[in-house]
Amino acid sequence: MTRIQNTVDYFEAYEAGKLNPEGFWGRYASHEFTWRAPWHNVYSADFEQARFRWFEGAQLNITENCLDRHLHTRGDQIAVIWEPNDPIEEPIKLSYRELYHRVCQTANVLKRLGASKGDRICLYMPMIPELLISVLACARIGAIHSVVFAGFSSRSLADRINDAGCSILITADGSFRGDKIVPLKDIADQALEACNSVRKSIVVKRTETEIQMVEGRDVWWHDLHTGVAEICDAEVMDSEDPLFILYTSGSTGRPKGMVHTCGGYMVYTCYSFEQVFQYRDGEIYWCTADIGWITGHSYIVYGPLLYGATTMLFEGVPSYPDMGRFWQIVDKYEVNIFYTAPTAIRALAQCDPKLIERSSLRSLRVLGTVGEPINLEAWEWYNDVIGKGQCPIVDTWWQTETGGIMISPLAGITHLKPTFATLPLPGIVPVLMDEHGNEIHERIAEGKLCIKQPWPSMARTIYGDHQRFIDTYFAHFPGYYFTGDGARRDLDGFYRITGRVDDVVIVSGHNLGTAEIENALDEHEQVAESAVVGYPHPIKGNAICAFIVMDSNIQAGSTLEQELLDLVSTIIGPIAKPDKFYIVPGLHKTRSGKIMRRILRKLASGDGQDLGDISTLLNPEIVESIGQSMGLTTSA
């Protein structure tokens, strides 16, 4: 099996992947890639210890598969099209050959700075070609890249650099975001004050913002590259050597540095890219995510390049110079496959139809969504207005932890059902669990979503904390990987993801840990305690509501809300800012001292009725007072 071409293929492949995963994955992996040494075992799995190994004994370098192996067949084909923030500026197009040389050159630069296999390198960069090149250059020399989304604050950046012990940081003087410039280098400088491990900081000149260069530490990207060789042998990696670390928020505590490894991640991102989008030679593929998130890693960089596609990189935002920018870009490059997030779709659906009508959108063949559940209205708008009823929509469910798309229609092959991610990819075995922790065997069901069989691109650990990896993903349901999501299954076996069942809230497609935001709020000297929950929001999917308990005898000042917003921005980043604040007299606790968030979620969505059983609370009377502070009458 290579490309699934029809539903018969799909069901055959599905059975094969379930009954004989070794054969299924072994066949795909040997067919498509350049391996330096073969594996002796397709995989081994120990769910109890959360130890998973894929293509054991095999050796490879993922960049040889993204670049070198395409040089004979598609060296002159465009690998990457970069569209700048400002539509007046010239785009950049790099062929596979050009990209290969640029990656090799940067790899040599990193080596000259003393980087080698296993070192961690942090990338805090705008969406410019140098970001994609840096990712691949790290992989070329076997260094582990840790990309930090350029919207995070200096504190978040410092935490991530320190957690991974990065020795090099690559950043830029600034980042264009619509009509604004984000002072990336300044933010990075602040972060580095708290980071001892970073020896060198490489700075790309992008916005010409005035910056301070720290002698001995900071070096310009362009100076380092002058005269450096454009050929660099790829480091030979074991299949299970780490490829990258990427941080994601959890229910509790600090963000988790998810570790992905070389062989399995390579096989699965290529496989899923090919099957889901059904990419055809010569097509232009555009994923609007940022490389700072997993979607950018797997479906801007690795998946498309492994497959030999032409992938787009967009520096800007959907609203600049106006809300028609996406559609103008689609026409400008005749984009065939367009992959974005429901939040963007909802925001774009709100604007003046004229901004869409000026683009023909004729080139589009496949549409995709990712990151959060898509509501029916948004799905229909995407289908009718953007796809003109002609383009299959692949609603792709997956996670940072899964490395690649797990449940999704295959474009033009399997059936669509609006708001359903539909069927698992062959090789993926999802199950639903009931409240007693048992697998639900009935077809029509609702429960917690788990994955029963290992797959190649599953995260291998949390960097520096394997016990947390076990506890978070493998302890709730022994023998299964627990996703943290709830789902429904219909008569056809189609899955609909209903949302997180833990304390992660997805706001505009970004995962936010409520505990992390509470910790930030609690740093305010007048805040005694806080609780944060998500509530439904028409554009962002969810928004954040914060309940604040002030220190006794302190009246909230008029600037408190702004101070709290600034605090969250500084500690985490602007994406984590709450939308609503309520100052409340106290918070209701269970007998074990936990806040019963279910009630707060209900109140935050504006509903004070049917709060359920609150008799187990230590202080049930407080619920009514909280409701009063919000102007709600409660059933409590």
Q: Which residues here bind ligand WTA, judged by CB under 6 A? A: 248, 293-295, 370-373, 395-400, 421, 483-485, 497, 500, 506, 511
Q: How far, CA to CA in Å, does 516 sit from each of 104, 148, 505, 545, 604?
A: 39, 17, 11, 14, 19
299 vs 326 by CB, closer to ligand WTA: 299
Q: Which is nearer to ligand WTA, 171 or 402 (CB)?
A: 402
Q: Hey, is 31 helix, strand or coil?
A: helix
**Minimum separation from the CB atom of position 500 to ligand WTA (A):** 5
Q: Which DSSP category does 300 fall into? A: I
Q: Count CA atoms closer than 13 A to 377's CA, side-chain side.
A: 9
Sheet holding 144-147, edge to edge: 218-220, 200-204, 168-172, 120-123, 144-147, 242-248, 256-261, 461-462
Element (H, E) at 87: none
Q: Residue 201 — φ and ψ, nearest 5°?
A: -125, 120
Spatial contact of 509 and 541, defined as CB atoms under 8 Å apart? yes
Closest approach of Cβ 562 to ligand WTA, in Å? Answer: 29
- Give the integer Cα–Cα distance in Å for 174 and 207: 5
- Shorter beta-carbon distance to ligand WTA: residue 176 or 495: 495
- Report the residue number, 315 or 372, with the smaller CB distance to ligand WTA: 372
Looking at the Cβ atoms of 135 and 550, the one nearer to ligand WTA is 135
User: Please, what is the minimum distance in Å from the beta carbon of residue 302 to ligand WTA?
Assistant: 14
Shortest spacing between CB 308 and ligand WTA, in angstroms: 23
Q: 103 or 459: whose CB is closer to ligand WTA?
A: 459
Q: How far apart are CA 67 and CA 94, in angstroms?
A: 12
Alpha-carbon distance of 466 to 57, in angstroms, equals 22
Q: Which is nearer to ligand WTA, 293 or 455 (CB)?
A: 293
Cβ-based nearer residue to ligand WTA, 83 or 395: 395
Nearest distance in Å: CB 385, ligand WTA: 20
How far is residue 441 CA from its own chain's centroid? 31
Q: Closest distance between ligand WTA and the C-beta of residue 354, in Å?
A: 30
Q: How far is the CB of 394 from ligand WTA (least distance, A)?
A: 9
Quick one: DSSP state of residue 590? B
71's tokens: 């040089």
Q: Which residues have CB under 8 Å from 232's CB, separation 6+?
A: 103, 104, 105, 107, 108, 111, 140, 141
Cβ of residue 509: shortest distance to ligand WTA, in angstroms? 7
Spatial separation of the C-alpha atoms in residues 407 and 425, rounded to whole Å: 6
Closer to ligand WTA by Cβ: residue 418 or 620: 418
Beta strand 256-261 pairing with 461-462: antiparallel
For residue 29, give both structure tokens: 């992996």
CB of 178 to ligand WTA, least distance (A): 23
